[in-house]
Amino acid sequence: MQTSDSEIKKDLRATAHTARELGPEYEDEVLDGFLQRLDQRLDAHIAVRVRRELGRDGAPAQAPAARQQQRNWGLGIFQYVSLVAAIPLSAIGANFAQAGGLVIVWSGIVGLNFVQARSQRYEERHRDDR
């Protein structure tokens, strides 16, 4: 930042000198040019800082609420698909093994949903630690 500060000071001195030489007619244009260059430097500095904070190459960060909603949506889809698959699986299990078949099918469905939910929570915890 020290180098940048000295460059800004040099640029400001040059701008003030140029404004004095050219007179009041051009003072506004000279100062506007300096302010535009200063804005560009600030924008570049902010962009570098944002990239550093994000830890990426400027990819926009997704809001935490949006990430949570996306995770919940994925979990919800898995649950609905497993319930839809449960209908024919229950019929097949009941047809071949009566009540025991239903218990096995539904134990598998509940187990899969449990594992899916746990893995998603595990992933969330470790993603937040990074």
Per-residue pLDDT tens over the stretch 2-30: 556 788 888 888 888 888 888 888 888 88
Per-residue pLDDT tens over the stretch 48-75: 888 877 765 545 555 566 666 666 666 6
* C-alpha–C-alpha distance, residues 21 and 73, integer Å: 65
Would you state the pLDDT for residue 126? 73
Would you state the pLDDT for residue 123? 74
A 10 A CB-CB count for 112 gives 14
Closest to 37 in 3D by CA, of 57, 9, 58? 9
Would you state the pLDDT for residue 106? 92
A 10 A CB-CB count for 100 gives 11
Amino acid at 28: D
